[in-house]
Amino acid sequence: MTDSKPLDGKLALLTGASRGIGAATAETLARAGAHVVLVARTATALEEVEERIHDAGGTATIAPLDLTEGESIPRLAAAVAERWQKLDILVLNAAMLGSLTPVEHIDPREYARVLTLNVGSNHALIAAFDPLLRKADRADVIAVTSSVGHEPRAFWGAYGSSKAALENLLGAYADETEHTGRIRVHIVDPGATRTRMRALAFPGEEPESVKPPDVVAEFIVQRVTADVPSGERVRVES
C-alpha cells in the first residue's frame, strides 16, 4: 500500500455503478488501488465504466443483475466469496426515484418498487455480504441517502420515506457492529449533484449549477481512507 494507492489490495463492490455517483465512485476507488465489482442492470453501460477503469490502469469486474430479482444477491455474494473470500468496501448506491406526488396520490405498486430497491435490496446486500465484510481486516459500508430522508419535503414522500428507512437500517447496523471494531458504516448525503436522477427531479435546473459526481466520489474515498467513526451521517457540500 502506498499513499497514491491507499486501497491497494482491497475489494470494493458498488451498486448503481453504471452512471452518475456510482460510476464516478467506482473509477475513483479503482484509481486508489481497489479492485471494483460493478453492479447494475445494464451490461453495456457497465462495460463502458470497466473500460474507463482499465484505460486508467485500474481493475474491475462487471456483475450485471437486477437487485430486486429473486436470488440475484445471494448468488452474487456466493460468487464473490468463491473468488475473493472477503469484501472490504460495500457501496449501496442503487436507487429509484419514483413519482414526485402528494402522499395521497402515491401509486401503491410504484411505492412497493421504490421500497423494494431502496430498502429491501440494500438489506439483502448487507445480509448476504456481512460474513465477507467480517472477514476483512477493516470493512466500510457506505449508504448513499438524500436530504429528504432526514427532512421531509412536499411531494417527496415515497422516495423520502425509503431513504429515511435506509438511514435507520444502516444506523442500527452501525450500532450492532461497532463492538467488532472492524466494520464502519457511513451514511452519505451527496447533496445537489449532477446526476440523471437529479435531472428527472429538477428538469428546469441548469446542470452546471450543481457539482459533478466526481466530488461525491472523492468524498467517499476520503471517508474510507480516513480515521472516522462508524454510524455518522455526513453531507457532501459543494
The per-residue pLDDT for 169 is 98
Would you please indicate which residues are annotated as catalytic (active-site) residues?
Answer: 159
Q: How confident is the model at residue 197 (pLDDT cuts 50, 70, 90)?
A: confident
Report the CATH number that the domain containing residue 26 is assigned in CATH.
3.40.50.720
Q: Which of 16, 36, 17 is nearest to 224 (CA)?
A: 36
Where does 56-195 have alpha helices with state H? Answer: 72-84, 108-115, 121-133, 157-177
**Residue 95 falls within a domain, yes or no?**
yes
The owner of cell 452474487 is 76
- Least confident window among 30-34, 138-142, 195-199: 195-199
Query: Between residues 202 and 7, which one has the greater pLDDT?
Result: 7
What average pLDDT does range 26-33 have in this prediction? 98
| 139 pLDDT above the threshold of 90 | yes
**Residues 71-83: pLDDT tens digits?**
999 999 999 999 9
Q: How confident is the model at residue 3 (pLDDT cuts 50, 70, 90)?
A: low
150/160 Cα distance (integer angstroms) = 8
| 2 pLDDT above the threshold of 60 | no
The per-residue pLDDT for 193 is 81
The owner of cell 460495500 is 90
The per-residue pLDDT for 127 is 98
205/120 Cα distance (integer angstroms) = 31
Structural domain range at position 124: 11-235
Q: How confident is the model at residue 42 (pLDDT cuts 50, 70, 90)?
A: very high
**Residue 82 falls within a domain, yes or no?**
yes
Stated length of the chain:
238
**Residues 200-230: pLDDT tens digits?**
888 888 888 888 999 999 999 999 999 999 9
**Residue 23 falls within a domain, yes or no?**
yes
**Residue 3 falls within a domain, yes or no?**
no
Cell reading at 203:
428538469
The per-residue pLDDT for 219 is 97
30/188 Cα distance (integer angstroms) = 20
Rounded to 5, what percent of the chain is helix, strand, coil?
Answer: 50, 15, 35
Q: Which of 96, 94, 184, 202 is nearest to 144 (CA)?
A: 94
**Residue 1 falls within a domain, yes or no?**
no
Percent of the chain with pLDDT over 70: 99
**Residue 195 falls within a domain, yes or no?**
yes
**Residue 5 falls within a domain, yes or no?**
no
The per-residue pLDDT for 207 is 84
β-bridge mates for residue 61, sequence order? 37
**Residue 58 falls within a domain, yes or no?**
yes
Report the number of distinct structural domains present in the chain.
Answer: 1
The owner of cell 440523471 is 196
Nearest-5° angle of CA 104, CA 106, CA 108?
Answer: 115
What average pLDDT does range 15-36 have in this prediction? 97
187/192 Cα distance (integer angstroms) = 16
The per-residue pLDDT for 205 is 86
Nearest-5° angle of CA 31, CA 33, CA 38?
Answer: 75
Query: Between residues 103 and 199, which one has the greater pLDDT?
Result: 103
